[in-house]
Amino acid sequence: MTAGLNVLLTGATGGIGRAFAGVLAPRCSTLLLAGRDPDRLQALAASLAGPHPSLAIVTVVADLSTGAGRAAVAAAVQALPGGLDVLVNNAGVGDFAWFETEPEADIERVVATNLLAPVLLTRILLPAMRRGPRATVVNVGSILGDIGHPGNVVYSTTKHALRGFSEALRRELHGSGIRVQYLAPRATRTPLNSTAQLALDAELGHASDPPETVARALLALLDGGRAEMHLGWPERFFVRLNRLLPSVVDRALGSRAAVVRRHATGTKG
């Protein structure tokens, strides 16, 4: 990844998003930050402006699950000189719930934010990414995009689909000068995690990373040629095991379902 780039980062004000902005800023000519909270966007922009006085920072307040939000971001991208060099689809919402009792509106919100938004935004922005000699789309998924986990049924569904979208689009754009990469963090210590999710992780002994670890992985992915990067051990081992011997992982995670249900539903049984 060279310097002087035009970069769009969605979900910029979340824990991982802020860390991404910090490591991307030194390599950018223009950093376009998209998020839903105007105050947090402005605070992030101000924190970057001091250390990087020559950086052009553009903020766009937008809900990317809506057509109007995606159009607002697309308009800001169209105004960039030279087109868009890097798109980081980072915006997303967590979803720890027991599927059978999860409200339909919550399911629709998670699918719209985690899957439809990055798919539709990428489609809109592809012409702007063709204006330069080389561009990159990075879709930020999750280890749960490879390992379906009880209590995260809808979230896992969206991240599985996002990984499939990345793979298929990479192949469709072969030879176009646009590469597509997929970054899969494991559990990360951000406000995205609910109290119930944190309690489950503590009981099951799930390890988690600080956002800075994920940000360093993003740079490594952009600097290298890999199509995918999965973070954490033993998580990377279980990704491979799940692909080769899913029935083994079925038994291991299925045996935890009762514990997950207790935390997801707030019941004692």
Do the Cβ atoms of 129 and 180 come closer than 8 Å? no
Domain CATH number, residue 137: 3.40.50.720
Angle 108-76-89 (CA atoms, 0-180°, nearest 5)? 45
For residue 224, the enclosing domain spans 5-265
Number of domains in the chain: 1
Q: Which two tokens stand for residue 96?
A: 């720890």
Active site residues: 155
DSSP element (H, E) containing 72: helix 67-78
How do the pLDDT tens digits run along the chain, 269 residues long? 677 999 999 999 999 999 999 999 999 999 999 999 999 999 999 999 999 999 999 999 999 999 999 999 999 999 998 899 999 999 999 999 999 999 999 999 999 999 999 999 999 999 999 998 899 999 999 999 999 999 999 999 999 999 999 999 999 999 999 999 999 999 898 877 788 888 888 888 788 899 999 999 999 999 998 999 999 999 999 999 999 999 999 999 999 988 889 988 887 55
Q: What does the pLDDT read at residue 166?
A: 98
Neighbours of 89 (CB within 10 A): 27
Radius of gyration of the chain (CA): 19
pTM: 0.94
Spatial distance between the Cα atoms of 158 and 235, rounded to a whole number of angstroms: 19
